[in-house]
Amino acid sequence: MSHTREMKAVRCPTDQLSLTNRAVVSDKDAFARIDYVQVQAIPGPSYVFATVAHPDLKSGEMGFSLPQRKWARISIDQPIQAAPYRFDPSCQYLSSITVEVDFLQKKNTTNDAFDSDKMAKDFLESFDRVAFSVEQQLVCSFYNKKLMGLVVKSVEILDPAILKGGKPSAKRNRDVRIGVLTQNTQVTFEKAEGSALNLTGRSKGQSGNQSIINPDWDFKKMGIGGLDKEFSDIFRRAFASRVFPQEFVEQIGAQHVKGILLFGPPGTGKTLMARTIGKMLNSREPQIINGPEILNKFVGESEANIRKLFAAAEDEQKKMGNNSGLHIIIFDEIDAICKQRGSMSGSTGVHDTVVNQLLSKIDGVEQLNNVLLIGMTNRKDLIDDALLRPGRLEVQMEIGLPDEAGRLQIIEIYLAKMKENGKLSKDVDPMELSTLTKNYSGAEIAGLVRAAQSMAMNSLITASSKVEVDYEKVEKMQVSREHFMHAMDTDIKPAFGVSSENFDKFILNGIIDWGEPVQRVLADGELVVKQTKASDRVPLASMLMGGRSGSGKTALAAKLALESGFPFIKICSAEDMVGFSESAKCQAIKKIFEDAYKSQVSCVVVDDIERLLDYVPIGPRFSNLVLQALLVLLKKAPPKGRKLLIIGTTSAHDVLEEMKMTDIFNTYVRVNSLSTSEHIVKVLEELKIFTPEERERIRTKTQGKSLLIGIKKLLVLLEMVRQTEPSYRVPKFLSLMEEEGGLELS
């Protein structure tokens, strides 16, 4: 230090001077005519202060406030070295300063809002031309309310090069840690960590208005794929308002979304998505609750459990107001506690009071603005309507089955570890797997990968008297395409996929092309399938196939459904509902259609409709409840963006016509029975039961005769003939045909 003098450190002579952030000197001292002084307590670093003169100090004394002494490490009566300080004119004035602020005395906190814009104005008036250094501590009283403790967090110097039209020197700005405040300095306030200070206004810094989105989040790193659109929609609806400053939200009269409901089939990633939302937000650790855990057998305990979930958010909002952090409460299986009020007949009413308690907490008289409730369910229809209105669980997002691009993302996530460690064979193509796994949920894709891994590992196990593993082959083991194909064929089938085992039994013997009537039915059916795939105007297509019992209607419907290539194909058959009550049958039929709506393109075969209706000609009797359910479901259009093909079969077309059911179907196709000798011979040629000579004898015997027999009945007769001695086959066949009424020989 040049012109250094030894001075004695003393207390600041008045409380008012302690708020100026200046070093106080005697008005008789030479330092009184100097603007800035550099002081140093030996040993230790040096610090720069602006000066102010006061008559109560003696020459050779320099007064400091408690925060100044604490920052500069100066004790009372300690000798210090002091010298005049001159700033470099090219880097003297502050363009901006960021200050951390908190109550000076924690016991004197208040919930009153402090306007940071007004605080910035007071700060500039109080400290005009005062020197500030990074990490400097000081005290200030803002608009005569409370004493605040301040810490300088960062400073930026006004670069003269900008005034001359040059480029700013970013490096010099980073290096400089001291400057002089002017009326043009931009002041930004940050709330100290853990502070209860309620800071508002545009001069509020980042800690007062933190970005709600964590900048480090990445869907793939979090093990989630195929839900990009859903995340985008949820962000737009639920979080956009939380990104803007609270003052702006209040100015436009906007309100934060307080609840999200995620619904959809099991295994589609609802729980995973809710957990990911918690990770992607700068919020408290989310509370994850399973719905049934709330319920308690003791009176009032279930409601108390609901109140406990919101207690932390209530306390923080009381202390910090709009600056409270976001509290996320995740409810899994929310339908367990939020069923429609009054729907639980014979119950104690616990569910109703739990719903009431939850409603009052989300959107009651003392509503919370710092809570986001995320509910998840497979059964949205069970949830009380009051919970779904705007202001409560207002963002309702269906998490459906992933499309091909989504499945590719999910598959790549699950294959990444194997690929990284060289355990995935080169013949495994993720794109091919995504194409083959139509209507697989995320959980089912994970199961498929596990099943393929299990098959690969199983090939290394030698099962003899004891189970042994060939460790030499373990290092070389790879999961191959063959393992995935085998797992897909045998182990993992999609819940919303093709019920191939049900359809296979209907076309066990294949489809026999015995003539033009079969070709006509298949051609008409293929036309309806094409219409379903191609048409965007008509999302619902339906076709009714009628004909005599045993004419092959179900087999033809099954063939059309399987060859359509639709990812979801299901049969609605009376044989699966034997013994069901009328209401149970309605629920089973409704579930098949609701499952179909979850797929992009679906096909439902409603087989033997009169059997579903419990129709019998004696009486006649039928189930009106099931009839009304079918009338509704058969003409109900699928949700937007989904397509549905319905193929119905009946042996009682006239009955359905009386019930006004035939009007619902877009197309009616008649499935004929075999009626000519050429039809019969064509079937015999396909099955190769008779020799050419025997077939010719049968043709001669049946030529010009009255024929009418269903293909199903004919196949049964031919199987009986197959067991007969070769020399008796032709007579036996003709005899059986006559007995069954399919042929008149006389």
Let me know: does 49 contact 96? Beta carbons within 8 Å: no
For the question of residue 490 being annotated catalytic, the response is: no
Closest CA to 407 of 428, 438, 453, 429: 438
For the question of residue 663 being annotated catalytic, the response is: no
Q: Tell me which amino acid residue 426 is.
A: K
Output the pLDDT for position 112: 77
**Catalytic residue among 377, 437, 554, 662, which?**
554
Output the pLDDT for position 489: 82
For residue 329, give the DSSP letter: E
For the question of residue 554 being annotated catalytic, the response is: yes
Output the pLDDT for position 366: 64
b/e 306-345 (16+ beta carbons within 10 angstroms → b) = beebbebbbebbeebbbbbbbbbbbbbbbbbbbbbbeeee
Token pair recorded at residue 30: 């030479």
Cα three-residue angle 174-178-180, rounded to 5 degrees = 120
Q: Which residues contact 671 (CB under 8 A, 6 or more apart)?
A: 517, 521, 545, 546, 547, 551, 552, 553, 556
Let me know: does 335 contact 383? Beta carbons within 8 Å: yes
Output the pLDDT for position 208: 41
Structural domains of the chain sorted by starting position, each given as residue range(s) with its CATH number in brackets: 5-84 (2.40.40.20), 94-200 (3.10.330.10), 219-398 (3.40.50.300), 404-491 (1.10.8.60), 500-670 (3.40.50.300), 677-744 (1.10.8.60)
Rg of the chain taking only CA atoms, in angstroms? 41
Output the pLDDT for position 400: 80
Closest CA to 157 of 186, 117, 127, 116: 186
For the question of residue 712 being annotated catalytic, the response is: yes
> What are the C-alpha distances in Å from 67 to residues 12, 72, 125, 135, 182?
11, 9, 20, 11, 22
Output the pLDDT for position 41: 84
Closest CA to 263 of 355, 172, 465, 399: 399
- CA 549 – CA 708 distance, rounded (Å): 12
For the question of residue 635 being annotated catalytic, the response is: yes
Output the pLDDT for position 248: 64
For the question of residue 20 being annotated catalytic, the response is: no
Residues in the chain: 746
**Catalytic residue among 118, 380, 590, 635, which?**
635
Q: How many CB atoms lie within 10 A of CB 12?
A: 22
b/e 175-190 (16+ beta carbons within 10 angstroms → b) = ebebbbbbeebebbbb
Going from the first residue of the chain to its last (746 residues), give the mean pLDDT of each consecutive group of 10, the final group possibly shorter: 80 88 89 89 85 90 90 89 83 84 78 82 87 89 78 82 48 67 84 80 55 51 65 73 65 79 82 71 72 66 80 77 74 80 55 76 70 84 82 83 84 87 87 87 87 84 64 78 87 74 69 85 90 86 90 88 86 87 91 88 91 85 90 90 91 89 90 84 82 83 78 83 80 79 54
Let me know: does 645 contact 541? Beta carbons within 8 Å: yes
> Residue 139 phi/psi, 5° resolution?
-125, 145
**Catalytic residue among 258, 553, 585, 598, which?**
553
Output the pLDDT for position 163: 44
Token pair recorded at residue 10: 């003393």
- 601-606 and 643-650 strand pairing: parallel
> What are the C-alpha distances in Å from 35 to residues 38, 49, 362, 460?
11, 9, 58, 84
Tokens 């008297």 -> residue: 465
**Catalytic residue among 51, 361, 608, 662, which?**
608
β-bridge mates for residue 721, sequence order: none
